């Protein structure tokens, strides 16, 4: 592992060890990645399951936001709600596979209708869609290295995706704050999150190169 990544893992570990001395911590929940790429590439899981509200739906949406740069693939608008859009429409034989999906604003989605992206005047969208988004390998290595080191504390450690955090936060009706995101990391998030403390401590790791 590059020394800078080793330093990052060590910084996180030293923060965890400090907290363990101060607080009665019984388990660790970590957010590992933004979305589960393996789950998304599994063709068995493709299909109508990407619909709103399901965990798979959140994984798909987070993946598409990252892949298409958080904007409408057609007009490029950023500050509008984005809908999942079929590049080749289903009625034209297009599939529900992630490689056939993009994000569009409501207006573009409506205007495109039953046209393919190419017919709509955006052939490059159809090309770009074929390329899958790959996360950088050494970042993943760092994550698993950190996971192993956290497990060495002897506490149970769970991993969640950013998509799961978002779904947990939204379904519990909590505001978009880093603090509430932290409360919603991992599958063990309680159905009802009760906040009794108003004092929040935020620790930031700063790596100097
Ligand atoms: Zn648009």
Q: How far is the CA of 120 from the centre of ligand 1 (A)?
A: 12
CA–centroid distance, residue 121 to ligand 1 (Å): 13
Mean residue pLDDT across the chain: 86
The answer to whether residue 141 sits within a structural domain is no
Instruction: Judge whether 72 lies within some domain.
Output: yes
Distance CA 30, CA 139 (A): 15
Query: Could you tell me the distance, in angstroms and rounded to a whole number, from the CA of residue 98 to the centre of ligand 1?
Result: 19
Query: What is the average per-residue pLDDT within 31-44?
Result: 74
CA–CA gap between residue 182 and residue 113 (Å, rounded): 39
Q: How many CB atoms lie within 10 A of CB 97?
A: 15
Residue 112 lies in a domain: yes
Please count the structural domains in the chain.
1
Centroid of ligand 1 to alpha carbon of 107 (angstroms): 6
Q: What is the pLDDT of residues 100-156, one digit of tens each?
A: 999 999 999 999 999 999 999 999 998 888 776 665 555 667 778 889 999 999 999
Pairing of strands 101-105, 157-161: unpaired
- Integer Cα distance of 20 and 5 in angstroms: 23
pLDDT at 138: 55
CA of 69 to the centre of ligand 1 (A): 13
Q: Would residue 90 count as lying in a domain?
A: yes
The yes-or-no verdict on residue 44 having pLDDT over 60 is: no
What tens digit of pLDDT does each residue of 15-28 get? 999 999 999 999 99
Q: Cα(90) to centroid of ligand 1, in Å?
A: 20
Q: What mean pLDDT do residues 175-188 have?
A: 91
Ligand 1 centroid, distance to 172 Cα (angstroms): 30
Q: Which of 72-81, 92-101, 152-161, 198-207 has the lowest mean pLDDT?
A: 198-207
Residue 16 in any domain: the answer is: no
* 61 falls within a domain: yes
> What is the residue range of 50's domain?
38-130
- Within 8 A by CB and 6+ apart from 168, the residues are 184, 185, 189
What is the distance in A from the centroid of ligand 1 to the CA of 108? Answer: 4
CATH at residue 87: 1.10.30
User: Cα–Cα distance between 7 and 208 in angstroms, integer?
Assistant: 9
Residue 26 lies in a domain: no
**Structure confidence at residue 169 (pLDDT):** 95
Measured CA to CA, the distance from residue 135 to residue 33 in angstroms comes to 9
Distance 79 CA to ligand 1 centre (A): 10
> Could you give the 3-state DSSP secondary structure of residue 86?
strand
Q: Report the pLDDT averaged over residues 52-76.
A: 89
What pLDDT shows up at residue 48?
53
Distance 83 CA to ligand 1 centre (A): 10
Ligand 1 centroid to Cα of residue 122, in Å, is 12
Residue 81: the pLDDT is: 94
73-85 confidence digits (pLDDT tens): 999 999 999 999 9
Q: Is 3 part of a structural domain of the chain?
A: no
Q: What is the pLDDT of residue 201?
A: 80
166-206-9-4 Cα dihedral, nearest 10 degrees? 120
Report the alpha-carbon distance of residue 115 to residue 209 in Å, rounded: 50
pLDDT at 47: 53
Instruction: Write down the pLDDT at residue 21.
Output: 95
Q: How far is the CA of 73 from the centre of ligand 1 (A)?
A: 7
Pair 98, 85: CB distance under 8 Å = no
């Amino acid at each position: 592992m590059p020394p800078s990544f080793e330093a990052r893992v060590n910084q996180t570990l030293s923060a965890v060890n400090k907290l363990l001395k101060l607080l009665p911590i019984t388990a660790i929940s970590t957010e590992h990645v933004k979305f589960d790429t393996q789950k998304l590439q599994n063709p068995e899981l493709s299909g109508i399951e990407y619909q709103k509200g399901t965990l798979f739906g959140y994984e798909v949406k987070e993946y598409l936001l990252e892949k298409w740069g958080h904007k409408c693939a057609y007009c490029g608008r950023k500050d509008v709600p984005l809908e999942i859009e079929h590049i080749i429409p289903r009625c034209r034989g297009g599939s529900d596979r992630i490689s056939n999906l993009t994000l569009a604003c409501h207006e573009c989605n409506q205007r495109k209708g039953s046209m393919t992206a190419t017919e709509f005047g955006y052939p490059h969208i159809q090309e770009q869609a074929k390329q899958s988004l790959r996360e950088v390998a050494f970042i993943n290595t760092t994550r698993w290295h950190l996971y192993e080191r956290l497990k060495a504390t002897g506490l149970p450690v769970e991993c969640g995706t950013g998509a799961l955090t978002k779904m947990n936060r939204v379904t519990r009706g909590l505001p978009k704050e880093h603090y509430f995101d932290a409360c919603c990391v991992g599958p063990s998030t309680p159905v009802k999150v009760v906040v009794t403390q108003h004092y929040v401590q935020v620790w930031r790791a700063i790596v100097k190169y």
